[in-house]
A and B are shown apart, each in its own frame.
Chain A
């Protein structure tokens, strides 16, 4: 599973890095950015989905495996 924040859509609400701090971090203006290449480590799948479902701008894409 992989997550990605679409920077053109993100407005820096910060829900993703608050809810899934292992997967997202703020950049210097507070926009959310996926950590590394966005690969979701085992056990982090629920956090990833929660971040997606709570983004007010719907700025996060998620790529399920298989």
Chain B
């Protein structure tokens, strides 16, 4: 991250440094890569392990009853709390846990990236975090998001009209994944035809945690090169979108550093895509295998918002990460500086200490203090957008296809890593 400078020249001058200043090699702290099958998740957990990817909930429940904080030597060392109260305590404790990186992998970003991080504000720590987040909040407040609802609904209808009449539809690949990509591309002012490129970036950044560092870095450079080009182009011809907004935005009376702008754009582009896609997909997956819940929602569409909260609780797509700032004993866990914390909101959401029938989907659950969108100062910036997209997608799906089931349960595949959702979801449509 370069020092903040006062920009008095033309837009081209201001952003001239952006591209060439990208580091030419990965910086940070790399650890030895440990892969291979997991022995015991209590002492050797791996969130990319095959059994975790296939069905993490029994593993979480087991760890919660016997640990309740699991440990691993993988990824250079990390901890996995499974109780709601522990997840909450760490989410709130920005003094001792840093967001310098929120993706647990084999490389820790250099310490000098804090408190800004690579993708502010998700990667930022207080006090910098507050201002970086504050300037984005109005664009993601419910009043602003409500304006996007009609367009989102029209797009969902368009996607489903196109597959109307088919016997089998891939609800993940042909429906869910397209929705957030279109919405965020429009918000940022990126060409809609670049959608395939964005899905590639998502895959590289969030699912490639075990790739060799050099390869991962090369893929990141592709993303930042794309964003640099968009920034330069928007700086030359400003318009009413989030990219132009960020170029003009000020914090503490100064324009944002170009790297701050690019990092925030990377966040906005990537964070909402596979997360929302996952929430929509998991919801359809659940309804496809639970006819009673599906029939109830078809009969009573007003229940969709309540049901959506329950599906977000039970199948929360997002797990975050933190880095321990200094060696300490945390509730009996000997944490070392730069140990990871895998902050599992999905595990917290299934804690029977907070939820009755925590392991069951209760489609009309009225008391639902879930934390699918996180807790504390890093509450998902896009939660209002995500909720709108998931609700509209489910309403559109149920209106088009009131009767459906899994075409082949064994053919469903789930994403590895910290964002969990179906990536192939063949649904049999009854007619």
Complex interface: chain B residues within 8 A of A13 (CB): 373, 379, 383
Instruction: Return B131 CB to nearest CB of chain A, in Å.
Output: 12
- Docked complex Cα distance between A28 and B347 (Å): 32
At the interface, yes or no: B367 with Cβ under 8 Å from chain A?
Answer: yes
Which residue of B134, B367, B383 contacts A14 across the interface (Cβ within 8 Å)? Answer: B383
Whether the pair B375, A56 counts as a contact (CB closer than 8 A) is yes
Question: Main secondary structure on chain A at its contact with chain B?
Answer: loop
- Docked complex Cα distance between A57 and B373 (Å): 11
Which residue of A28, A30, A55 contacts B369 across the interface (Cβ within 8 Å)? Answer: A55
Binding site for B on A (CB under 8 A): 11-14, 17-18, 26, 28-30, 50, 53-58
A-B interface, 8 closest residue pairs, ranked by CB to CB distance from nearest: A30-B141, A29-B137, A11-B379, A53-B367, A26-B142, A56-B371, A28-B138, A56-B369
- Docked complex Cα distance between A30 and B383 (Å): 10
Complex interface: chain B residues within 8 A of A58 (CB): 369
Whether the pair A30, B137 counts as a contact (CB closer than 8 A) is yes
Whether the pair A29, B138 counts as a contact (CB closer than 8 A) is yes
B118-138 toward A: CB 8 Å interface, digit per residue (1/0)?
000000000000000010011
Question: Could you pull out 5 A-B pairs where Cβ atoms are within 8 angstroms?
Answer: A18-B305, A28-B138, A56-B371, A56-B373, A57-B376
At the interface, yes or no: B47 with Cβ under 8 Å from chain A?
Answer: no
Complex interface: chain A residues within 8 A of B305 (CB): 18
Whether the pair B376, A11 counts as a contact (CB closer than 8 A) is yes
Whether the pair B375, A11 counts as a contact (CB closer than 8 A) is yes
Whether the pair A12, B137 counts as a contact (CB closer than 8 A) is yes
Tell me the nearest residue of chain A to B133, going by C-beta.
A29
Whether the pair B366, A50 counts as a contact (CB closer than 8 A) is yes
Whether the pair B367, A12 counts as a contact (CB closer than 8 A) is no
Whether the pair A53, B369 counts as a contact (CB closer than 8 A) is yes
At the interface, yes or no: B140 with Cβ under 8 Å from chain A?
Answer: yes
Which positions 370-386 of chain B face chain A at CB distance < 8 Å?
A: 370-371, 373, 375-377, 379, 383-384
Which positions 138-159 of chain B face chain A at CB distance < 8 Å?
A: 138, 140-143
Which positions 42-65 of chain B face chain A at CB distance < 8 Å?
A: none
- Other A-B contacts than A26-B141, A30-B141, A55-B369, 13 sampled, CB-CB below 8 A, are A11-B377, A14-B142, A14-B384, A26-B143, A30-B140, A30-B384, A54-B309, A54-B368, A54-B369, A56-B371, A56-B373, A57-B375, A57-B376
Tell me the nearest residue of chain B to A28, going by C-beta.
B138
B397-424 toward A: CB 8 Å interface, digit per residue (1/0)?
0000000000000000000000000000
Whether the pair A12, B138 counts as a contact (CB closer than 8 A) is no
Instruction: Return A65 CB to nearest CB of chain B, in Å.
Output: 22
Complex interface: chain A residues within 8 A of B387 (CB): 14
Tell me the nearest residue of chain B to A11, going by C-beta.
B379
Contacts known (A26-B142, A30-B137, A30-B141); A12 close to B379, Cβ less than 8 A: yes
Tell me the nearest residue of chain A to B92, going by C-beta.
A57
Complex interface: chain A residues within 8 A of B367 (CB): 50, 53-54
- Docked complex Cα distance between A13 and B383 (Å): 7
Tell me the nearest residue of chain A to B366, going by C-beta.
A50
- Docked complex Cα distance between A60 and B377 (Å): 17
Complex interface: chain A residues within 8 A of B140 (CB): 30
Tell me the nearest residue of chain A to B377, going by C-beta.
A11
Tell me the nearest residue of chain B to A26, going by C-beta.
B142
- Docked complex Cα distance between A55 and B373 (Å): 12
Complex interface: chain B residues within 8 A of A50 (CB): 366-367
Which residue of A26, A29, A55 contacts B134 across the interface (Cβ within 8 Å)? Answer: A29
Complex interface: chain A residues within 8 A of B370 (CB): 56
Complex interface: chain B residues within 8 A of A55 (CB): 369
Instruction: Return A32 CB to nearest CB of chain B, in Å.
Output: 10
Complex interface: chain A residues within 8 A of B376 (CB): 11, 57
Complex interface: chain A residues within 8 A of B369 (CB): 53-56, 58
Complex interface: chain A residues within 8 A of B309 (CB): 54
- Docked complex Cα distance between A30 and B138 (Å): 7
Complex interface: chain A residues within 8 A of B379 (CB): 11-13
Instruction: Return A12 CB to nearest CB of chain B, in Å.
Output: 6
- Docked complex Cα distance between A14 and B367 (Å): 15
- Docked complex Cα distance between A14 and B305 (Å): 13
Which residue of A30, A53, A54, A57 contacts B142 across the interface (Cβ within 8 Å)? Answer: A30
Tell me the nearest residue of chain A to B144, going by C-beta.
A30
Contacts known (A14-B383, A56-B369); A29 close to B375, Cβ less than 8 A: no
